[in-house]
Amino acid sequence: MPLDRAEAASQEVRGDGGPSSGVTGEALHAHCRALYAVCRSITGPGLRATLAYVAERLPLAVREVPSGTPALDWAVPREWTPRSAWIRSLDGETVVDFARHSLHLLQYSKAVDRVVSNEELQRHLHSLPEQPDLIPYRTAYYSDTWGFCLPHRLRESLTDAAYRVRIDADLAPGALSYGECVLPGESADEVLISVHCCHPSLANDNLSGLSLALELARALEGRKRRLTWRFLFIPGTIGSVAWLAANRDGAVGRIRHGLVLSCLGDGGAFHYKASRRGNASIDRIAAHVLRHEGAGNQLLPFIPYGYDERQYCSPGFDLPVGCLMRSPNGTFPEYHTSADDLDFVRPEHLARSYAALERIADVIEGDALLRSTAPYGEPQLGRRGLYAAIGGTGPGETGRGFDQMTLLWVLNLADGRHTLLDMAERAGQPFAAVRAAADAAIAAGLLVPA
């Protein structure tokens, strides 16, 4: 599909004066392709295989929490290990096969091996009459049942009196797995980036967030960091609950900013769902970045439904964690169906999403309080190489990633009370331009840390 200007620009340069990590949409899409067919769930071998993929590329610590472990108001469930599953006619024709698509099997189905009547089979089938060619994604994590998901057209063709059903799966004591990558910074204060990695064969609502988090961690790993960054690769809900239970007296208290990432590979406008607080620093930062990402982007208020932000923002924790998306969960027809595939998630959309995420990271890392060393009157910029050689032409471009007016705003607001983000909002400029102007003024001896 054709790229708009913002999509195209994001594949080449950052465009706002900030540093680019060089991450391409194709590299992000490659992660999605590598992991798409893996049957992930909230426990089990598919989840571990996904974490192993991440661990090959990041310093990832994989935690194992035994089944039955209390986790706040929950308990870690039994581990699910699916191997094969199918429905066959009595003459041997396979009509549904888990090996063909991992969405075909209801998550957490128990083992079955018998002939069932059509009437009984239909009670265990899940389809979408309004989307008859798609396979839905359905789960039964805490139910003692079994089932299959299939296109509604196929379901309507199942007219035999009986069928043979076989599900080869274990549901037994084991462990819940999650991955944790901690990149220490100069400060113990933390930034939390959380992604769920428990959905099988769903590219946007699973792998897009994982691919962006993986590459952001790799980029930050090679940089000097002001803050400590913690990346969580977890199964949805029970993973964040288990992490919060294990860290409530430790890392939880150090979190200053947080983002949940999901649905970032489609072509919709950006949406940022605010933290429960609604006025946390991360809420301001995300709003600022999306304001400069183009028209149509939306800020959403917090609601206690969605992804793991609702666990981090539960009232006992009330952490400053928002959720960054393009099309929000449940608002696009491909959501939780087999249409959320590798063709739906496009490299150009992933690239633009990554650029926005990296801009947010740049603000988190680069915001600062500064103080002018020449606050009485406007300092003379010409002799410091910070002003145009020909006077009377107005506050134009400087060729350094900022214009003259941005520099004047920075110098005027550098009173030790306004942060660089405050300045960017007051000046109506992207943060990176304000940061570039501040850096130039620091190099000229005009600004110092407050």
pLDDT confidence of residue 348: 98
Domain endpoint, select from 172, 199, 225:
172
For residues 160 and 63, what is the distance between their CA atoms, to the nearest angstrom? 47
* Phi-psi group of 416: left, alpha or beta (phi > 0 → left; psi -120 to 50 → alpha; rest → beta): left
Q: Are residues 133 and 14 in the same domain?
A: no
> What tens-digit pLDDT sequence spans the chain (450 residues)?
333 433 433 333 233 333 456 899 999 999 999 999 999 999 999 999 999 999 999 999 999 999 999 999 999 999 999 999 999 999 999 999 999 999 999 999 999 999 999 999 999 999 999 999 999 999 999 999 999 999 999 999 999 999 999 999 999 999 999 999 999 999 999 999 999 999 999 999 999 999 999 999 999 999 999 999 999 999 999 999 999 999 999 999 999 999 999 999 999 999 999 999 999 999 999 999 999 998 899 999 999 999 999 999 999 999 999 999 999 999 999 999 999 999 999 999 999 999 999 999 999 999 999 999 999 999 999 999 898 644 444 565 666 788 999 999 999 999 999 999 999 999 999 999 999 999 999 999 999 999
As a whole number of angstroms, the distance between CA 128 and CA 134 comes to 7
Q: What pLDDT was estimated at residue 400?
A: 76
What is the model's pLDDT at position 22?
A: 87
414 and 309 housed in the same domain: no
Measured CA to CA, the distance from residue 238 to residue 251 in angstroms comes to: 18
Domain total in the chain: 3
The domain boundary, picked from 314, 334, 366, lies at 366
Q: Are residues 189 and 331 in the same domain?
A: yes
CATH of the domain at 166: 3.50.30.90
User: Do 305 and 278 belong to one domain?
Assistant: yes
Q: What pLDDT, on the 0 to 100 scale, is given for residue 78?
A: 98
Q: What is the pLDDT of residue 16?
A: 36
**Residue 15: per-residue pLDDT:** 33
Neighbours of 84 (CB within 10 A): 12
Residue range of the domain that includes 105: 81-172
pLDDT, position 18: 37
Helical axes 25-35 vs 347-366, angle rounded to 10°? 110
Q: What is the pTM of this model?
A: 0.93
Task: Let me know whether 125 and 188 are in one domain.
Answer: no
Statement to judge: residues 27 and 44 lie in one domain: yes
Residue 387 has what pLDDT?
Answer: 80
Query: CATH no. for residue 317?
Result: 3.40.630.10
State residue 28's pLDDT score: 98
Picking from 172, 189, 210, the residue at the C-terminal end of a domain is 172
CA dist., res. 376 & res. 176, Å (int): 61
